[in-house]
Structures are given as structure tokens and as C-alpha cells.
Chains A and B, each alone.
Chain A
Amino acid sequence: MKMKKTLFDKIWDAHVVESIPNGPDILYIDKHLIHEVTSPQAFNELKERGISLFRPDRTVATADHNTPTQNQHLPVKDLLSRKQLKELTQNCEENNITLYGLGHPYNGIVHVMAPELGITQPGMTMVCGDSHTSTHGAFGTIAFGIGTSQVSQVFASQCVLVQKPKRLRVNVNGKLKKGVLPKDVILYIISKLGTNSGTGYFCEYAGNVFEEMSMEGRMTVCNMSIEMGARGGLIAPDETTFEYVKGKEFAPKAEEFDNIKTYWETLKTDKDAEFDQEYSFDAEDIEPMVTYGTNPGMGIKITGSIPMEGGKSDAKALAYMGFKPGETLLEKTINWIFIGSCTNSRIEDFRQAAAYIKGKQKAANVNALIVPGSRQVAAQIEAEGLREVFENAGFTLRQPGCSACLAMNDDKIPPGEYCVSTSNRNFEGRQGQGSRTILASPLTAAATAISGKLTDFTKHLN
């Protein structure tokens, strides 16, 4: 009898060039995404060794981490950023790599632009020098973040040396409550499992909740797999996936598409295949989530209160956040909200936010920043009339980029201020020195902007 395989095994095993005895696998990489921050030292490494890029046609570059979100047509003001972007351009030119740089219609956050261009496809292996590469797992793809040394490895050989992770499955079944978005689902899972429960694993998300999600929602979930320590997360591709990929710029066309779809349809976990670890949750237990600490595992439902018990590190986190054990976050005044980042900057996220905001005004105390994930998303916002909705409500709509998720550019949250943010990390100073991040869904962020404080907005949903 043939061995039962998980979705992850099927894709992994199809990409192993060689297994080193007592060591890692040589894993072939179908697509290598690069950006300005984690690639320059890798290009230098190659140059120093006199090695040329092995498969430039499997590499795609964008500029996102370090880019301004205003006046992108003008030269970048920050000199160090400008130099880093210039090096990316030069390195791509010298090595024949396709670059969608600042101003290009395909430019955007690497984990937003690649899926929407059809670069990401089911059954692939993908890497990028960015831990949120796990996003692409939404397509039934093995996608994970790598360090710069590994970027050099992929440049030199189109392969990485990596130990095969163990298999983890997280099941969520049932009916989600009103106002509960994919972001809440993943924040809930991480709050239950903690930030290192996934270390050493690759996680498959299964159950009707994920099956019923849009591709945008699945990307939000897979994106945050790394926040529970998992190298990546993936969801079996289905009709929703195929429909999304079909017709995209770099997706296979016509007959080629139909043929490869037949292969993609085989990409699911066999019945009775074994996982090294498995967890199951009920959708009915999930409510809109917020984080109260300085790692994404420190999450509670928006109407909940901060746990009383906790270790030394929890006390340090609460001191940083200015919160106390047992406290509820409801009615906390919030002066900043950010809707953006590779977690939540796709069109669906902005539609959900706009649907809530429409006809309302942001509270006077709030600075509300909207940053689309890509030029294409920005164009969609325009075409669907969402820009007016945001601007009429007093929100600031910027140009695409990673922006205030990691505050490498000028988009920073001031010291001591709380920001309800749709990004992925609430680490100390992540959104600017001294900033205090509360992770939440786009709907929670939008509702907070309107009320100027955290509220149980689900009461007002139709």
C-alpha cells in the first residue's frame, strides 16, 4: 500500500534534490522573491566568491520595506534608503533579475504583489528573505522565510539546505460569529498555542472555516504562521485557489492552465495521513481579538480582560504597554490606527474597513493611516470608490509599502502612543521607538478609528 502523505509531504518530497545522510535536504526552490533589505549582502557574497546567479528567471524583485509612502515619484529623501534601493536596482540589472521597483504598476509588498501577479502558484516551493513568506502557503505552496546567507545559497544554486520540518495540523470548524475576520482566527490560534508552539513544524490549516475563506483571508492566516514559530503554513488548494490564480499575469494560460490544474487537484492531505501534532478549535469560540502585550501570542477577545497570572516576561510586557493584569482594554483611548502590512493590505481588507466607515467620521483624536499592499490594490481602491470613503471619513490614504508595520521609513507611531494595527507584530518599538502596538483585524481598526477607543463594535454590525 502506498504511504499516506500530507499535503506538505507531497510538495516537499517533489522538491528534494538529495537528502544528506544525518543532515538536511537539498530543497529545490521554484520561486525566489527578493527585496532591498535582505538582499544586498547576498549579492556581495556572490560577487566576492566570483559566482554568478544560477537561475535569474526564477527570481523576482520588488522594493517595499524601506520605501516612502508619499511622493514616490520623487527621489527618496532618506539617503541610506535611497542607496539601498539603488543597489537593488543595480544588482537586478547586473544579474538579469526582473525588478518591480518603486513606481512600477506591479510594485508592492512582496507578499501582496507576487500572489496578485500569479507568480505564486499551488504546489510550488518559494522562499524570500522575509519571515512572512509563509503568506504564500495560502495557495497550497511551501513558502518560508530565509536569512541572507540562504538568499546567497538560492542565488548560487536555486536550492536551500534545510532540515525537513515536522507536520502540524490546526483544524477550525464551525460557523464564525459576525464581525470575526480571518485575522481574528489566526490571532485566536496563536493566543491559544503560544509563540513557539510551531517551532520546528510546518502547519496545515484545515476545516470548513479555511475552506470557506477567500484567498485574501487565507493569506492573512498563513502570513502569521511564523508568529507561532512555524516556518510556514499552508492550506490545500481548491476551486477558490484555482479561480484566483486563473487569468493572473504570470499564471499558466488556456490549455496549460487546465493541465496543471489537474496536478494541483492532487495536492491535498491523504485521508489517514499522520501529523506529528494536531490541534482543533471551534469557530463559535472565536471573537474579535486584540493583543495586550509585546508578542502576538498575548491576545484576548476584545471584550476580555488581561490574564492575572503570568511570568516575569509578561510583567515586562505589561509595563511596556502600560497595562495591568485583570484590566479590560475596552474604552481605552486610541490615537493611532494602521490598516496595512503583508497581513492585511489586500482589497478585501479595505472593502471590509470601508463598509464599516462609510458615512461615518473618524474620532477627532485619531490619526488613521491606510496603506495599500500594492499599486494594484491602490488602483482597485480608486476604481471601487473606496478612496472617497476613507478620505470623507478623515482617514489618510498613502502609497503602497510595508510602512508602519516595521517603521523603516517615516511612517512611525510616536513613543508611548497606542496603535490598533492590522500588522503582524506587537514587539517593543516595532512601529517606532516606544510605540505600543495592539494587533487586530481591519474591521476592529476601522471601528476604533471611528470611536476613538476600543469598543465592542460587533453590537453595531448589521
Chain B
Amino acid sequence: MEKFITLTDTAVPLEVENVDTDQIIPARFLKATDKAGFGENLFRDWRFDKNDEPNPDFTLNKPEYSGSILVAGDNFGCGSSREHAAWALKAYGFKVVVSSYFADIFKGNALNNGLLPVQVSPEFLNQLFLEIIQDPHVEIKIDLEGQKIGIPKKNISEHFEIDPYKKTCMINGFDDIDFLVSKLDAIKDFEKKKSQKIQASTPL
């Protein structure tokens, strides 16, 4: 996995709450058996109209907005567990998603793919929206080590929380599979003890 330390870039605002993973990547695109190509269909039904023409009102199609940071409304990523949502955001070019709330499964999926979910206060989120809309070229800085997100030019920033284990993984580009495989002996021990325990707790 790619390392993530800091990022300074412009952002794309998506002022919609409860963005579910069906919107991020509709189910009809889940027939693939590899991870390639999901970026093209990111937000497909919001991005394109019935005739597959780009919808000019959708944020990704607005020429003024660009960058690898997506700033989205509350409760981002709710619904289906499809990791395809994280793959689609990543493949499109996003490295960070900012929201005031993330659904659990999406958050985990994002972190497992080097896509950083940054949870900020609703007030800070509103401020970000205002600043980006006012000046689409405004740069947002995310410092994972210091757990800070802000707009350097405006001298505003906020602290954000991240699981310390996941932070280490992101900064070093580690992933969970390597870690779990290194624990197989402990897991085998656990299996032995568990089967004994269940037998012991039941009068034979």
C-alpha cells in the first residue's frame, strides 16, 4: 500500500448528506472480478445523464473544481459494504475524503486502500465548503502525522482523530494481511483453547 504522510491540494465539494455506496458506485458495475476501471463509473448516475452525457450541474463535472480531496456532507459512505466504492474514489484520483461523519464499513474499506477518511466537526466542514466555493483554488493541507487538517492561506485548521494502529499503517504503507499472517501461531493457539473452553463450559 502507498504511504500517506501529508497532502496539500485543492478540493472538490460534494454538499450532499448520506451519500451511500450505491451512489458512489451503482450495483450494475460490480460485476468485475478485478479492481481496475471503477473510477470511470464513480458517481455514475449523478455524473452522467440517461444518454451518458456529463451532467454539468454535478460537482465532478464543474471545470472550476479539481484536486485529490473530496469534501462531502454528513454520513458519507453509508449502505452497502462494497469496497468497490473505495476503489472507485481511489481510481478516480481522490486520496482523501473529508466529512463530518463516515459509515463504519466504508471508513475501514477506505483505510485498507490508502484512501484517508478525515472526520471533522460539522462547523469546520461548513467552513471548508464556504472557502472552496468562494475560491475553488484554495489549498487544503492534511498532515496525518500531526492529525491536522486546515487551509494554510486562511490560517484555519482542526485536529482529527484516527485509530493509532491505522495511522501507523497509513504512514508506513503497511496492510492488515501481512500483520495477521504474522500472528498465525497465536491464532492456532487460540483455536485450541477455544474448543477446549466450549467443551469445558458444557457439562458432559
Chain A contacts to B: CB under 8 angstroms = 14-15, 17-18, 20, 22-24, 26, 28, 37-38, 40-41, 44-45, 49, 51, 54, 65-66, 78, 80-81, 83-84, 87, 129-131, 145-150, 152-153, 156-159, 161-163, 165, 195-196, 199-200, 226, 229, 231, 259-260, 262-263, 266, 294-295, 311-313, 316, 406-408, 415, 425, 427-430, 433-434
When A and B form their complex, what is the total count of cross-chain residue pairs whose Cβ atoms lie within 8 Å? 197
Cα A138 to Cα B22 in complex, Å, equals 26
Residue B3 CB within 8 A of the other chain: no
Residue numbers in B under 8 Å from A28 (CB-CB) = 187, 190-191, 194
Q: Name which residue of chain B comes closest to A154, CB basis.
A: B180
Q: A22-B164, A295-B18 are in contact. Are A146 and B183 (CB under 8 A)?
A: no
Q: Mark B147-180, 1 if CB is under 8 A from A, else 0.
A: 0000000000000000111100000000111011
Given contacts A20-B165, A87-B33, A147-B86, contact A262 B203 (CB under 8 A): yes
What residues of chain B lie closer than 8 Å to A81, measured between beta carbons?
A: 31
| Minimal Cβ-Cβ distance residue in A for B193 | A17
On whether the beta carbons of B177 and A51 are closer than 8 Å, the reply is: yes
CB pair A130 B81 closer than 8 Å: yes
Q: Does A428 lie within 8 Å of B23, measured CB to CB? A: yes
Also in contact, A199 and B104, with CB within 8 A (given A149-B83, A153-B180, A263-B201):
yes
Q: Are B204 and A231 in contact (CB under 8 A)?
A: no
Scan residues 111-170 of chain B and give those whose CB is less than 8 A from a CB of chain A. Answer: 112-113, 163-166
User: Is B45 at the interface (CB under 8 A from chain A)?
Assistant: yes
Which residues of chain A come closer than 8 Å to B202, judged between CB atoms? 259-260, 262-263
Q: A129-B83, A407-B27 are in contact. List 6 more A-B contacts (CB 8 A).
A: A14-B197, A17-B190, A146-B108, A149-B109, A266-B201, A408-B31
A262 to B17, CA, bound (A): 47
A83, B75: Cβ atoms under 8 Å?
no
Nearest CB of chain A from residue B4's CB, rounded to whole Å: 16
- A17: contacting residue among B80, B105, B183, CB under 8 A: B183
Interface of A is mostly: loop
Q: How far is the CB of B201 from chain A (nearest CB, A)?
A: 5
B33 A83 Cβ-Cβ under 8 A:
yes
| Contacts of B10-42 to chain A: CB distance below 8 A | 15-18, 20, 22-23, 26-28, 30-35
Cβ-closest chain A residue relative to B184: A157
Contact present for B22 and A146 (CB under 8 Å): no
The answer to whether B165 touches A149, judged by C-beta atoms less than 8 angstroms apart, is no
Within the complex, what minimum Cβ distance (angstroms) separates B151 from chain A?
23
Question: Is the pair B27, A231 in contact by a Cβ cutoff of 8 Å?
Answer: no
Chain A: minimal CB distance from B15 (Å)? 7
**Are A157 and B78 in contact, CB atoms less than 8 angstroms apart?**
no
Q: A153's contact among B28, B165, B176, B186, by CB below 8 Å, is which? A: B176
In angstroms, Cα B163 to Cα A325, docked, is 41
In the complex, B94 has a CB within 8 A of chain A: no
Per the bound structure, the CA–CA distance linking A15 and B17 in Å amounts to 36
Task: Given A147-B81, A428-B45, answer yes or no on A24-B163 (Cβ-Cβ < 8 Å).
Answer: yes
Decide if B177 touches A41 in the complex (CB within 8 Å): no
With beta carbons under 8 angstroms apart, the residue of B45, B165, B176, B204 that contacts A429 is B45
Given A18-B183, A23-B163, A430-B22, A147 and B191 contact (CB-CB distance below 8 Å): no
